[in-house]
Amino acid sequence: MNWIAMTVLLIVTLSTFAWSAGRRWRLMFVGQAPDKRGDQIGKRVGAVMRYVFGQVRMFRYPLPGLAHTIVFFGFLALLLNSIILWVRGYVPGFDFWIFGLDSPVGVFYAFVRDIFTVLVIIGVVVFFYYRGILRLQRLTLNAEGLAILGIIFFMMIADLVYEGAEIIHHTPAGESLFHGAMPFGSLFALLMAGLPEPALTAWWHVGFWTHAALVLIFMNLLPYGKHFHVITVIPNVFFQSLKERGRLEPIEDIEGRIEREETLGIRRVQDLSWKDILDLYTCTECGRCSEQCPANSTGKLLSPKHLSIHLRDHLYARQDELLGPARTGNAQADEAGLVPDTIKPEVLWACTTCAACEEECPVFISYIDKIVDMRRHLLMEQGEFPEQLQATFRGLETVGNPYSFATEQRAEWADGLDVPLRSNRPDAEYLLWVGCSPSFDDRARKIARATAQLLIAADVDFAILGPEEQCTGDPARRAGNEYLFQLMAQANVETMNGYNVKKIITICPHCYNTLKHEYPDFDGHYDVLHHSEFLGQLVRAARLKPQHRVAGQVVYHDACYLGRHNGIYDAPRDLLRAIPGLQLVEPEQQRDRAMCCGAGGAQMWKEEEEGDAKICHTRANQLLAALPGSEQDGTIATACPFCMTMISDGLVDQGHEKIARLDIAELLWLSVSGKEAKPAAVSKTAGEST
């Protein structure tokens, strides 16, 4: 082996990599947004062990997940082999003493190395099949991906060639070339056994130098493409957000920032944080996020994968400018906004904030916070947002609800039920947070009535705020109107703290998420339960007894802000299973892979972006497919008033208006009482406004 050639190879490749990696390191910190991620070290280490070394999320796609796991562990196993080969460039025949074939550990490692070499080849073939032959829509076929697959493939073949030549060189004449510790290397030895000595030596060197060089070339390609995640995945998983998924970070001192004319949200790439940029480095371009995205799967412009790619490409294209000596105060750099040149507004406004992309991403890239922060800039600084949201904001600002109905109508849903107001019963144990839709929308009022009737039947000590309740501000916050959200949050917290509220029951998952996870930022600390959780507790305690049969099949739709955002999947299902006669069936897209109804992220208050289909139509069809009987025999159950509206629209628009749509509270009330929840008699309904 030539030590001079090895020295040149190592110096050139390692110094080149150090330069490239150094630039990427410096570029990561052009992000100016503060982001502290050094807490809960034990939990972070556990996440790395589970999701990086355990590859847990990879197996959500079984065969690709298996192939990736094989390649991942293959590289770990073969890394030691690469180091041994580099040292052999200086010391021929070198082995770390413990890994030599004269030790049990060495024999074991030789066997593992040999097996993984072949398994990695199989994994590469699987990847090539998906990219080059099957050409899955979620994957991008490009030269970089094929080049990397080629490098890995030939590196593994070179290992087997070198191993085969090594076996021949070190096996005395007349002895068997088969070594149990290296079965595939032995196979190559048998294939090469008839070669003349010069040819055998040549192949020996080809195998050695191909592996020694390709692994270093591979390393130098990493900072320039999607395979950079080989290096960045561990820190990205380690530094993932540990906050509740449904919580958005508030803009601190928002009024002061407005007065100082500071940027609100994300305008330029510099407004990202270092962790946001690490996200961009780590995107594997696997497309799992986009395949699960309801907007993307219905033909909208939004693709979470391409959002990351476009931001990353923009960052790389400007790296000389951003890293140059004149980067501070550079007017051109300061004015280089992201929207609309890099990210089209239609991409941002198509997001339902359902978190399907974040649930699927194997490397824990966050998307919702980036999208909402770009919305914040567009709305609060540029005044650019979908026109339909203007009426929503006006209603929130003037009367505290997006329907623009008078505050005095908030408690009309409870006519005849003797539901107390908090002002009349300030010491009630529970506050029933009704929400805007159950307060004003005629269909959703039935859900509120059923919930209240169940609480009354269980003798729960509760009250409502009535006219004192206003929207939690969730639609404003998700749309990017952070200033309006904070005003509403502070007002609601002041009201509830004034009544010393401790326990809250919600009907709407959006209200649940906001009150539970976002109001603590404004001194609103409450024990919040969704009605599916609380009603389940009452059933288990026999305070509610489902006794009347409700025959038929029911398919349950998982609400995003109940399921993916808050992990509540079993409570609604357990409640449905407790109802005699009801048969729960599941759609193919269920639980953490349930498709969004299309209402989240303020989509409830605006028209969908142009696409191939409406999200609510697609989701309604998925639920229908789970009901094998006739429409009269099946029921679609929801646990969110927004979902009820969207699923109903999806069914009615497509001629399926006869199928029953009921909230879990309505189904439970049917079983407890044998009666349907009747709507309140009111002169005006919110349904007319939509």
Tell me the pLDDT tens digit for each residue of 565-575. 999 999 999 99
pLDDT of residue 173: 81
pTM to 2 decimal places: 0.92
Going by C-alpha positions, the residue among 501, 422, 516, 426 that lies closest to residue 466 is 422
pLDDT of residue 334: 57
pLDDT of residue 332: 53
Which three-class secondary structure state does DSSP give residue 582?
Answer: strand
pLDDT of residue 690: 32
pLDDT of residue 677: 58
Which three-class secondary structure state does DSSP give residue 337?
Answer: strand
Which three-class secondary structure state does DSSP give residue 585?
Answer: strand
Query: Cis link prior to 641 (omega < 30° from 0)?
Result: no
pLDDT of residue 685: 33
How far is CA 128 from its chain centroid? 26
Structural Rg of the chain based on CA atoms: 30
Which DSSP symbol is given to 433?
Answer: E
- In terms of DSSP H, where are the helices of 550-640? 570-577, 615-625
Q: Domains along the chain?
A: 36-238 (1.20.950), 254-382 (1.10.1060), 389-689 (no CATH)
660 forms bridges with which residues in the sheet?
635
Q: Give, in degrees to the nearest 5, the angle at Cα 562 between 556 and 566.
A: 135
Q: Please give the C-alpha separations between residue 85 and each of 185, 265, 459, in angstroms, as whole numbers.
A: 16, 50, 76
pLDDT of residue 163: 92
Distance separating alpha carbons of residues 389 and 395, to the nearest angstrom: 10
pLDDT of residue 145: 84
Distance separating alpha carbons of residues 218 and 85, to the nearest angstrom: 16
How far is CA 345 from its chain centroid? 21
Burial class (CB in 10 A: 0-12, 13-18, 19+), 662: buried
pLDDT of residue 684: 31
Kindly give the parts of the chain with pLDDT less than 70. Answer: 1, 96-100, 326-336, 629-633, 676-690
Distance separating alpha carbons of residues 93 and 105, to the nearest angstrom: 17
pLDDT of residue 681: 37
Helix, strand, coil shares, percent, the chain, to 5? 60, 5, 35
Going by C-alpha positions, the residue among 571, 567, 575, 542 that lies closest to residue 666 is 575
Distance separating alpha carbons of residues 518 and 178, to the nearest angstrom: 65
CB 446 within 8 A of CB 649: no
DSSP symbols for 363-410: T----HHHHHHHHHIIIIII----TTHHHHHHHHHHHSSTT---GGGT
Burial class (CB in 10 A: 0-12, 13-18, 19+), 477: buried
pLDDT of residue 630: 56
